[in-house]
Structure 1
């Protein structure tokens, strides 16, 4: 029970990687605030989390700054503190670089970068009290410059940048700030596998471990590590949880 009694906010946790992280942390004893806009799926995650720990479902649009501060306040009111901030939520649209529009950029930054930035600011006072952990999300799309991913890659690399700054500034406060760059078999990827099996197989063959990560068992367990005392001497790092696809130097 590495996270016994800890309190975590996990954005975008109604499904996919966020759900996997919420479950992995719940099984290690953390109380989980599930933050999403999908109420139906959010209730399903809450029911799963509640088998192991106390959960809280918050249905709010995190692209609105005022909602972010309200979420942090609601979690602290409910549980009395905040130890772990997981900024997982992000929405984007693919397009070739030359066809990327302002709307594409606004969507990606508005759902990914700005909520991450605002949650970090809103959570800071509580994380300073608890000497807590921030877990943000990077992507191979930005690190490797994947085609058609201009808006997503830009937002993810911006998140990496502010995470490094915060790691330097907040280190003296005992706050760790790290990133996970994952590849995972989410429901969306499963649908793509069914519709384009040859492309899926080609992708798998480029991964040294020849499989996609499991949201809970692979990505979630690394999140647990970064949220626990086991990672107390790690900060400002991007952890590649991608089966060996990208080797950072």
Structure 2
């Protein structure tokens, strides 16, 4: 497997990544495997999760793909158990799964309870389920790590996306609360707020090309991030031994976008 200069940092460690059937989740899974982690792919659709697992195996890594609905605590628990049975434990949990409607602008008055609850169930309740299911395993690890996916929307708000902004604000609070609660157990809890050029964002800009240049102008680095090379490797670094004293932080992995805002 082609590996970067951090190649040995996560050898012998096991990571579980939710929402890893594509996009940023796939990028994170690939980056973790690149530095030696064995990766459990938890995806809502088994076929997409297996695609990610095959990409990891093709590079010489170890991966297990599972069909997991993070809105179910029992399904998340089964995924954690599967990681322990297959690889002997769990050291890292990355909750990336998000509801498909989260990226679609929608005014508050157009939300009904079902819309709101569906997004909360995946993003925020899913984070709760991951934390409950993984705590004992992460505590048993010598270097337990939990990484949550936040957003600048959770910091400065989001016009036309109130549910997503509220949820990511909740993720921010949960990250800080768990860092305090789990610190004595030797577990670090952090979140990243990424900006990546995903397939979904590419599709959006393809329909709204006039918006692309004005949006990119907000990035001091002049580009959106790569799912694996920028976002995934940042997560892998945060999970490494050199970051064991960092906890309770919301880290912007966004090319300076939030600074520019």
Deviates more, 1:210-219 or 1:67-76: 67-76
Would you say how many aligned residue pairs link Structure 1 and Structure 2?
248
- Which of 7, 14, 22 lines up with 2:21 in the alignment? 14
Give the 3-state SS of the residue equivalent to 1:246 in structure 2: helix
Displacement after TM superposition at 1:104 (Å): 2.3
What is the RMSD computed on CA atoms of the aligned residues? 1.3
CA contact (8 A) 1:140 1:181 kept: yes
1:208, 1:104 → 2: CA distance? 35
The CA distance in 2 between the partners of 1:94 and 1:74, in whole Å, is 37
Q: Which residue of 2 aligns with 1:61?
A: 69
Task: Report how far residue 209 of structure 1 moved.
Answer: 1.2
Aligned equivalents of 2:46 and 2:140: distance in 1?
31
SS of 2:259 mapped into structure 1: coil
Query: Is the 8 Å Cα contact of residues 152 and 193 (structure 2) preserved in structure 1?
Result: yes
**Equivalent position of 1:104 in the other structure:** 115
Instruction: Specify the alignment match of 1:116 in structure 2.
Output: 127
TM-score by length of 1: 0.96
Q: Is 1:163 matched up with 2:175?
A: yes
Spell out the pairing of 1:1-249 with structure 2 (5 A cutoff): 1-50=8-57, 51-91=59-99, 92=102, 93-130=104-141, 131-247=143-259
Retained in 1: the 8 A contact 2:41–2:63? yes
Gaps of 5+ in 1: none
For 1:58, what is the secondary structure of its paired residue?
A: strand
CA contact (8 A) 2:105 2:160 kept: yes
Report the Cα distance in structure 1 between the residues aligned to 2:69 and 2:133, rounded to whole angstroms.
15
Hey, what's the Cα distance between the residues in 2 that align with 1:52 and 1:237?
32
Q: Distance in 2 between matches of 1:40 and 1:76?
A: 22
Cα offset, 1:247, TM superposition: 3.2
Structure 1 runs of 4+ with >6 Å offset: none
| Structure 2: tracts of 5 or more residues without a match | 1-7
